Amino acid sequence: MKKTLGMLAFVWLSVSALAQSTASADPFLTRLAGNWQGEGMAFGMKAKVISKWEWTLGQKFLRLDLQYAMQSKDGKTQTFAGHAYYQAAGQGKYEGHWFDSQGNSYPIKATLDGDALTALWGLPGKSEGKSVYRLSGADKRFEIQDASKQKDGSWREFSSFKLERE
C-alpha cells in the first residue's frame, strides 16, 4: 500500500512539474524557438547571421544565441556574438538580459505588438538600443532590426537582417 501511494505521489509530482514547465512557455516566445539564418547589414557591412532561440532553465527563459560575421570593404571578416534571456512578464510584456562579445551586459524590457517583439535595452544616459523581432510567413520568416538611441532621442539603425527558419 505504501509503495502504491509513493508511486502515485511520484507520478502526480512528475505530471505536475511537466504541466507547470509547459504552461510557463509563452505562446509568442514559443513561436520564436528554433534555428534561423539569413543575411543583412551590420555596421555598414554585409553580414550573415545565425539566430538560435531555445528554452532553458526549466522553460522559464527563452535563450537567444545570436552570431554574425560581417565582411568589411577590405575583405576582412569581423564577428559579433551575443546571448539574451527572455522571460514573459504577463500581458504582452517581457523582461530579460543581454550579454555580448564586446563585454556589454544590458537589462531588457520588451513589449509585444501583433507579430513583433520590441526590446528596449541598455542603460539610460550611457548606451540605449532597440531591437525589433518580427515573424511573418506562417512563422517561417524572421526579421531583426537593431537601432541605437542618439543624444537627441532619435533612433539610428545599425543592423537589419532577414532570416528563414532552418
pLDDT tens-digit map of 13-55:
343 343 344 445 899 999 999 999 999 999 999 999 999 999 9
How high is the pLDDT of residue 25? Answer: 80
DSSP 3-state assignment of 3?
A: helix
Could you tell me if residue 117 is inside a domain? yes
Name the residue type at position 151. Answer: K
How high is the pLDDT of residue 14? Answer: 41
Could you tell me if residue 72 is inside a domain? yes
The CA distance from 76 to 101, in Å, is 18
Residue 64's CB is within 10 A of a number of other CB atoms, namely 22
Q: What is the pTM of this model?
A: 0.83
Could you tell me if residue 99 is inside a domain? yes
Residue of 85, 73, 75, 81 lying closest to 49 (CA atoms): 81
Digit-coded pLDDT (tens) for 47-103: 999 999 999 999 999 999 999 999 998 989 999 999 999 999 999 999 999 999 999
DSSP 26: -
Return the CA Rg of the chain: 19
How many structural domains are present in the chain? 1
Which domain range does residue 160 map to? 26-165
152-156, Cβ contacts within 8 angstroms, sequence gap of 24 or more: 155/130
**Backbone torsions φ then ψ of 33, nearest 5 degrees:** -55, 135
